[in-house]
Amino acid sequence: MTGTEIARDRKAAVSARALSKTFGQGDYAVTALDSVELDILENEFFTLLGPSGCGKTTLLRLIAGFELPTNGSISLQGQDITDKPPHRRPINTVFQNYALFPHMTVAENIGFGLRMLGSPADQIRQTTERMLALVQLEAMAGRRTDQLSGGQQQRVALARALAPAPKVLLLDEPLAALDLKLRKNMQLELKSLQAETGITFVFVTHDQEEALTMSDRIAVMKSGQILQIGTPRDIYDRPTHRFVADFIGDINILEGTVQHTDGDLATVRLKDGTSVSAHLATTSARSGNASVAIRPENVRLAGAGETPTLTGVLENVVYFGAATNLHLRLGTGEEIVIRNPGAVDEGRYQTGATIGAVMQPDLTRVLE
Amino acid sequence: MSGREPHTALAAAIAQNRRNKRVTRAWLLAPALTIILAISILPLGITVVYSFLTPGTYGGVTWEFSTDSYVQFLFQRDIFDDTLVFNSAYVSIFLRSIGLALGATIGALILGFPTAYFIASKPREQRNIWLFLITLPFWTNLLIRTYAMLLIIRDEGIINIMLMKAGIISSPLTILYTDTAVFIGLIYSFLPFMVLPIYASLEKLDFSLVEAGYDLYANRLKVLFHVIVPLAKPGIVAGSILVFIPALGAYITPELLGGGKKLMIGNMIAMQFGASRNWPFGSAAALILMALVVVVLLLNALAARRGASNNG
């Protein structure tokens, strides 16, 4: 797949091999991370995406060194760092709550890492100034951190983590506490900061939209495992698991049985007897029960004289400016959503009407 | 003018209402004011008045104004020509007391900080047990506890017996009736006052700040001194004041463990009201001690304000 192809021609910044983490013991043991294999590349904006409790933060804390793995190893640019304490890893973290030192000024916070590394005072001052300029907080250098707004604190946390020029920057849901507008701005700023500094960013979020807009590659996690690693397009257009498809964006999922396969194209018989053709998400030929998935924007209303793939009763029409969602109830009792760009003819598409829908075969997928 | 008459009636009503409120407020404040007056202001007033009187022959005072008590603190009146000669005896007792109290404060800090950190790092449900153990000695009278300490550190006490049995020493260490004994006793008596405020600051400490410290290349020691200690400073200051002040005026500990050979301020004051039968001088010494404590508190308040304005 595309994700692994990239991995072959670029060097890995962070690699995890058979990485596992179990909290507690005996009957109370909870597996937070289960044999994770991962290569995060140099100069990459890599996102760990998943619902809360999926292990993404645990993975981040293992890379930072705040937790020690139960099994497996982590390496940084080919060197094993599994047993190194956090202060010996050239990796810095932007914490979810920023964790700025309240007893220091903004400038002292930013200079802290270099001070602990024993850098000369001159260099600390210069780097601090450069970082303050980078995050546009020159005027705030002497302020105490509790006198800053949330967005400014976020910037200080970023500057503090970037100042010692780490090999990898870890970001633990750093935008979660910001309001929507600020979050959108910071998303773009972070992205351009990453390009500017050339530092590998590992970003943790549960916000799929954030992951899609910012990342070079995304790893989707669930219950301590990585389900799929790929570019945002891979993840969105070619999800391999039903969970991935469901978690990212809206998707229609219909249950059926695989009739026969031809290459990576399969014919699936849905519960009401209709046959649809779809791409197999994984190369392993499939038979038996399967889920057929298609994004609402890849289903369209059947034109006049066109043979629809599916027919159903229109239950709901939801107009939201750029598009209209039409909710169709199929004969099987399942629901399918059609996203029609712009408005629809209200006279023709009234609730209760029987409507035909066309699924584009090349964008329909059979999921694991 | 006549147009304002209804207003006058209203104004009168408002004024009446205000008066009523004032009366109610006075009654509500009365119990608190009585208590403050009875247990704080009144005894202090008596002490101030007594310090300016002349000592009675068999204790008590005679009602004759005199500043002799304050003069006596620093000077000795020559018996023959009535000239004043500087007398360091009382000043040295004060300095000794300050030294011992400071030492006890530092000792309590060195022992108390790790203890507080230990408790704060325990799971929440275990912390109360540890706090209970810290406060447990308070269930026993200080006098009893000091006697117990006496039994532990005396020549035939547990410490000496154990050290001798272990062959580390051949003859008992003389601890009892020395400054060391007073020092140990003061630390033992007031350690909880150090542990509790430091625990209160450490408990609130956001652990992600400690992680941020480690993340930014600080090792354990650097995290302790650059992150944890500065953030626990309010607790450290409060604990130090809470130990220093009672240690400065300690009476039982130096009396029992110091053997009353070398005085601390508390013993000296007690002596003036007892054997020396010089109540005015005792009162004056008590007031000088109080002034000393107020100075310490003022310096602390000043430092705190300067710290705040520096950061602001």
* Residue with the larger pLDDT of the pair A368 and B40: B40
Q: Say yes or no for a CB contact (<8 Å) between A164 and B216.
A: yes
pLDDT at B1: 47
The residue of A112, A144, A171 whose CB has the most chain B CBs within 10 angstroms, and thus the best one to mutate to test that interface, is A112
pLDDT of B4 over the 90 cut: no
Interface of chain A toward chain B, CB-CB under 8 angstroms: 64-66, 85-88, 91-93, 95, 97, 99-103, 105, 112-113, 116-117, 144, 160-161, 164
Q: Which residue has the higher pLDDT, A281 or A142?
A: A142
Q: Is the pLDDT assigned to residue A8 strictly greater than 80?
A: no
Q: CA A306, CA B214: separation in Å to the nearest integer?
A: 65
Q: What is the pLDDT of residue B159?
A: 86
Looking at the predicted structure, is the pLDDT value of residue A283 above 70? no
Q: Choosing among B207, B211, B217, B227, which should be mutated to test the A contact, i.e. which has the most A CBs within 10 A?
A: B217
Say if CB A99 and CB A133 are below 8 A apart: no
Chain A residues touching B225 at Cβ < 8 A: none
Confidence class of residue A9 from pLDDT cuts 50, 70 and 90?
low
What pLDDT does A3 receive?
46
**What is d(CA A263, CA A256) in angstroms, rounded to the nearest whole number?**
19
Which residues, other chains included, contact A41 with Cβ-Cβ below 8 Å and sequence gap of 6+?
Answer: A6, A7, A10, A11, A12, A13, A200, A217
> What average pLDDT score do residues B40-52 get?
92
Which residue from B minimizes the CA distance to A142?
B311
Q: Tokens 């903004």 map to which residue?
A: A106
Q: How confident is the model at residue B49 (pLDDT cuts 50, 70, 90)?
A: very high
Are residues B248 and B98 in contact, defined by beta-carbon separation less than 8 angstroms? Answer: yes
Q: B129 falls in which pLDDT band (50, 70, 90)?
A: very high
How close does chain A come to B202, measured CA to CA in Å?
14
| Nearest CA-CA distance, residue B110 and chain A, Å | 22
Find the length of chain B: 312
Give percent of chain A above pLDDT 90: 58
pLDDT of residue B310: 56
List domains and CATH numbers for chain A. Answer: 2-242 (3.40.50.300), 250-367 (2.40.50.140)
CB atoms within 10 A of CB A50: 29
Residue A337 CA to residue B249 CA, distance in Å, equals: 82
Higher pLDDT: B260 or B10? It is B10
Name the percent of chain A lying above pLDDT 70. 96
Facing A112 at nearest CB: one of B216, B219, B231: B216
Burial of A223 (0-12, 13-18, 19+ CB in 10 A): middle
Taking any CB pair shorter than 8 Å as contact, residues of chain B touching chain A are: 206, 208-209, 211-219, 222, 226-227, 230-231, 233, 311-312
CA distance A84 to B240: 38
Query: What value does the mean pLDDT take over residues B208-219?
Result: 95
Q: What is the pLDDT of residues B163-209, one digit of tens each?
A: 888 888 888 888 888 888 999 999 999 999 999 999 999 999 999 99
Q: Which residues of A touch B207 (CB under 8 A)?
A: none
Inter-chain residue contact B226 with A112, CB threshold 8 Å: yes
Cα–Cα distance for residue pair A222/A240, rounded to 1 Å: 13
Residues of chain B positioned with their CB less than 8 A from the CB of A92: 215-216
What pLDDT shows up at residue B6?
66
Residues A57, A86 contacting (CB under 8 angstroms)? no
For residue B308, name the pLDDT band (cuts at 50, 70, 90). low
Residue B245 has pLDDT above 70, yes or no: yes
Q: How confident is the model at residue A1 (pLDDT cuts 50, 70, 90)?
A: very low
Ordered alpha helix ranges (H), chain B: 5-36, 42-51, 68-74, 89-120, 124-135, 142-153, 158-165, 179-204, 207-215, 220-223, 229-231, 233-248, 252-257, 265-273, 279-311
Nearest-by-Cβ selection for B218 from A87, A92, A99: A87
Q: What is the mean pLDDT of residues A149-169?
A: 94
Q: B212: distance to nearest CA of chain A, Å?
A: 7
Residue of B nearest to A110 (CA): B216
Confidence check: pLDDT of B135 > 50: yes
pLDDT of A88 strictly over 90: yes
Q: How many CB atoms sit inside 10 A of residue A120's CB?
A: 9
Residue A7 has pLDDT above 60, yes or no: no
The arithmetic mean of pLDDT across residues A306-331, rounded, is: 89
Is the model's pLDDT at B312 over the cut of 60? no
pLDDT of the residue at A76 = 95
Mean pLDDT across chain B? 88
Strand partners, A46: A202, A217
| pLDDT > 50? residue A24 | yes
Predicted confidence (pLDDT) per residue in A51-66, tens digit:
998 999 999 999 999 9
* A189 has pLDDT over 70: yes
Q: Which residues of B touch A164 (CB under 8 A)?
A: 216-217
Looking at the predicted structure, is the pLDDT value of residue A165 above 60?
A: yes
Rg (CA), chain B: 27
* Chain B partners within 8 Å of A117 (Cβ): 217
CATH architecture of the domain B89-277 equals Orthogonal Bundle (1.10)
Contact between residue B56 and residue B44 where contact means Cβ atoms under 8 Å apart:
no
pLDDT value for A2: 43
Please judge whether B217 and A117 are an interchain contact, meaning their C-beta atoms are less than 8 angstroms apart: yes
Interface test with B, best of A61, A106, A116, A124 (most B CBs within 10 A): A116
Sketch the domain layout of chain B as residue ranges. Answer: 2-51, 89-277
Residue of A nearest to B223 (CA): A116
DSSP state of B287: H
Question: Which tens digits make up the pLDDT trace of A195-253?
Answer: 988 999 999 999 999 999 999 999 999 999 999 999 999 999 889 888 999 899 889 99
More confident residue, B184 or A361: B184
Which residues, 6 or more positions from A366, have their beta carbon under 8 angstroms from its beta carbon? A258, A266, A268, A278, A279, A280, A281, A286, A290, A291, A292, A293
Mutation for testing the A interface, residue in B201, B208, B214, B215 having most A CBs under 10 Å: B215
CA dist B88 → A272, B69, B73, B91 (Å): 108, 15, 8, 5
Closest residue on chain A to B211 (Cα): A66
How far is residue B224's CA from residue A107's CA, in Å, rounded to a whole number? 21
Specify the DSSP class assigned to residue A361: G
Nearest CA in chain B to A165: B216
What contacts B194, CB < 8 A, 6 or more positions away?
Answer: B105, B108, B109, B111, B112, B113, B116, B239, B240, B242, B243
What are the tens digits of pLDDT across the range B144-173?
999 998 898 888 888 888 888 888 888 888
